[in-house]
Structures are given as C-alpha cells and as structure tokens.
Structure 1
Amino acid sequence: MSTPIAEAALLVVEDDRALSSMLAELFTGQGYRVDTAYDGQQGLHRGLTGAYDALIVDRGLPVMDGIDLVALLRARGVTTPALVLTARGSLDDRVAGLDAGAHDYLVKPFEVPELMARVRALLRRTTGADSVVSAGGLRLDRVSRRVSGHTPAGAEVELSEREAALLATLMGAPRRVFSRGQLLDSVFDGAETPGAVDSYVHYLRRKLGKQVVRTVHRTGYRFGLE
C-alpha cells in the first residue's frame, strides 16, 4: 500500500462539519497534519497565512465559493496544489475548477481510497518540481530557502522565511505587478505595515542584486529579472 509523504500538512475547507471531521480523522490517521476551515473566508485566511502542502476544498462553501477561493489564492501568489470536492460533476463545472487554478477535481460521493490516491498525487507535486520556482536565471528552493543560478557571487544564497516567501510570490508570476497591499496579505499575513514590504524588498536586493525586484511607480513591485 502507498504511504503518505511524512509530515505533509493539509488544509481541508469543508462546511459539512461531519464530513470535515471524518476527512481530518482519515488524513491524521495516515500521518498527515491537518487544519480545517468551514467557510470560504476562513479558508482564504488559513491559505494565506499557513504553510500547506495540499488543499482540499469543497465547491459549495458559505461566504465564498470554493472555486473563487482557489482563484483568489492563486491571484495572491499561493501555488499550493488544490483538490476541489463537489457534488457538481458536469464537464463545465470541472473545467471551471481547473481554470480557476485547481489541480484536481473529485465528485461526491467518492471512494476513500481514490481520495487518498489523489492527495498523494498532489503531494508529489509539492515535494517535486513545484517546490522549486525558477525565473530570470534564478532558482529558488522553497523548502531549503536557497537561491542558486545567476546570483551576484555565483554561489547559493540562503534567505529568511519571509524573504523566500516574498521572492517566491514575485517569481511565481514574474510579469505581474503586485501592490504593497497584495504582498502584505500573501506574504506578511496582513499583520505588518506597508513599510515591511519595502524593507524586505531591500533585503532581497542586498542579497541578490538591485535588479532582482523592480519598483513600479505608484503601483508596487514585480520580479525584475524577467
């Protein structure tokens, strides 16, 4: 029997408390660490502020639809693989979920062994190529927080957790301009002042060169090497 990836962290966003509890128990029993949320707003907050290896998101959530939740996470730079659970099984619904940024789509009622296999497939994305972000001649390993490639001294550079999170967000959408507010929400949990973004941009430039982050006048920042 396949075994789970050790210490993987899952976020389950499901408003049916009985089903949520069952899923949490199943995943915990398989060795995963599990957090739960019961509506779209809670799911968005946890998705932005927590570190997860995979998301399991119900489609029909209160406050915010699961598809909108996934789309918002993607817009804010969260690339964690997501599986959408839904009672809607039409082709249009599946396409909508995938287009919003979900990696997989499972129709209720489902068989537990299939769900577990699909989650293991998502986790292989996290621990494989998706744990590495590449752009503009740089390669960031989000697990070790080390940057290699065209660094100033040609050697690996180790970043702090927040430096790595900020760089991963910018590199994940290298042509996109992020406002300070968007970066505060996605990287700093909304708990800092806008000046924190400027400070960490400075730290990245000091370690990786002034061109690594480009300032867009009156708008925000974007990755500068693409």
Structure 2
Amino acid sequence: MLLVEDEAELARMLAGLLAEEGYAVDVAPDGHSGLHHGLTRGYDVLVLDRGLPAVEGLDLLTRLRRSGVTTPVLVLSALGNPADRVAGLDAGAEDYLAKPFDIDELLARLRALRRRHLDTARQLPVGDARLDLDAREVLTAAGTVALSPRECDLLATLAARPRQVFARDALLALAFPEAENPVVVDTYVHYLRRKLGRRVVDTVRGRGYRLGTCSP
C-alpha cells in the first residue's frame, strides 16, 4: 500500500495500524514523492490526501491515471462535502472518505478495494490480447501462448502500466528482484518478442522499454 499523507502524526498512526492489519506500507509526505512512488512501484491500493504540498492530491491522482496506473485509490480528506466527493471520484478515485473518519470503516473500505483489485488484476490487456497471470498465458485471437514465470513477470510489469516507459534498472527491480545484471531484462525482452512478435515491447531510445502490441 502507498499512503500519501503530509500530516506526520496521522501518517505514523495510520502506517502503524495498517501494518498491524498485514499491509506493507510506503509513506509519502508530499505529492511529488507520492507521484514518484506511484509511477515506479506496484501497489494493491493507494490512500491519498488532497491537501498535499508540491502536487495537490487530485492533480496527483489525475497524473497517475493518465500514466496508466489503475491501482484503486481511496481519497482520505478533510474536504468532505458532496461537491468534494464528486470531484475526487471524477478524478479517478474508487472511494472517498472524509476526515475525521472511523478506523474500522477505513479498514473495511480498504479490504473491499483490495479484493476488487485482486479479482480484476489476474488478467491484463496486451493490445488486443490478454495476459492471464494465473495460467501464465497470453490469450490471442490466433491461440494461446505459454510464458515462463520470468517472461510472465516482465510482461505483467509492462502491462500493468501500459503508457509508462521503464528504465532497465526499474524493470530489473520490479520483475527480477533476485537478479543483479540488467542484461537479464534485454534477454527476456528478446524472449517475449520471439514468442509474441517484435512489437510486444517497444524500445524507447535512451529511456528504456514500454508495452507495445501483441501480434504473434
């Protein structure tokens, strides 16, 4: 989970409670660091304040959505009138809870968001095809293509944020955390292209890789 909250005492309290519930919590104290975390790491759910320094909360949410981040977001804000809630939901949040809040209600809402996220995240679009994470297969109009665990991890990382360009070091950390040499990223990009067509992974010169289109 990513918690973006600039009130230090509240952030510490929430991080402790959420850790007791079994969440691994990253805390970002401002919108800039929240945006960096949201774009470079994978989360099951985001909890986002609105009145953030550096980048305002709904602006942060809009940037994440435009970058292809589909992680469910709960906005936790002192701005709680109906117009504020509508603005948060229109910006891309799945839920909105006003401060002060009941901790049991917050936890229940987070459990519901996480369940929905895990239920829908087992298949990811890859162009006109779909990546089935449980079966480690890409389902295309021409048939089914089986992937190795590492191939699946790499393609899933790219497909989860289809508009984002990933540096090789970022892909190494996200898809191959046990590896040390970034050459492994290039190797598995080659394997994916061999199975799914050269366009399945785009090379962005000088920056890295991003998801392309599947055409086996």
Band the TM-score falls in, shorter-chain normalisation: 0.7 to 0.9
Structure 2 residue matching 1:124: 3-state secondary structure: helix
Given residue 26 of structure 2, which amino acid in structure 1 is its aligned partner?
A: D
* Residues 96, 223 of structure 1: alpha-carbon distance in 2 compared, 3 angstrom cutoff: farther
Q: Is the 8 A contact 2:30 2:53 kept in 1?
A: yes
**In the alignment, what sits opposite 2:10?**
19
Q: Is the 8 A contact 1:163 1:203 kept in 2?
A: no
Given residue 110 of structure 1, which amino acid in structure 2 is its aligned partner?
A: F
**In the alignment, what sits opposite 1:46?**
37
Given residue 136 of structure 2, which amino acid in structure 1 is its aligned partner?
A: R
Aligned-partner Cα distance in 2 for 1:41–1:203: 36
Give the superposed CA RMSD. 3.5
**In the alignment, what sits opposite 2:27?**
36
Structure 2 residue matching 1:101: 3-state secondary structure: coil
Q: Is the 8 A contact 2:126 2:211 kept in 1?
A: no
Are residues 1:157 and 2:139 paired?
Answer: no
**In the alignment, what sits opposite 1:6?**
none
- Could you give the per-residue CA deviations for residues 3-52 of structure 1, whole angstroms, max 9, x where no partner exists? xxxxxxx1111000110011011111112111111000111111122221
Are residues 1:224 and 2:213 paired?
Answer: yes
How many residue pairs get matched? 201
Q: Structure 2: where are the runs of 5+ without partners?
A: 174-184
TM-score (structure 1 length as normaliser): 0.73
Shift of 1:145: 8.5
Q: Is the 8 A contact 1:85 1:106 kept in 2?
A: yes
Are residues 1:209 and 2:197 paired?
Answer: yes
Among 92, 97, 105, which residue is 1:114 paired with? 105
**In the alignment, what sits opposite 2:121?**
130
Structure 1 residue matching 2:89: 3-state secondary structure: helix
TM-score (structure 2 length as normaliser): 0.76
Q: Structure 1: where are the runs of 5+ without partners?
A: 1-9, 171-177, 192-196
- Could you give the per-residue CA deviations for residues 98-142 of structure 1, whole angstroms, max 9, x where no partner exists? 122111110111111110010001101221013422355522245
Among 53, 56, 60, which residue is 2:47 paired with? 56
Q: Is the 8 A contact 2:196 2:214 kept in 1?
A: no
**In the alignment, what sits opposite 1:7?**
none
User: Which deviates the most, 66-75 or 102-111?
Assistant: 66-75
Aligned-partner Cα distance in 2 for 1:214–1:20: 39
Identity %: 49
Are residues 1:183 and 2:174 paired?
Answer: no
Are residues 1:78 and 2:60 paired?
Answer: no
Q: Is the 8 A contact 1:55 1:80 kept in 2?
A: yes
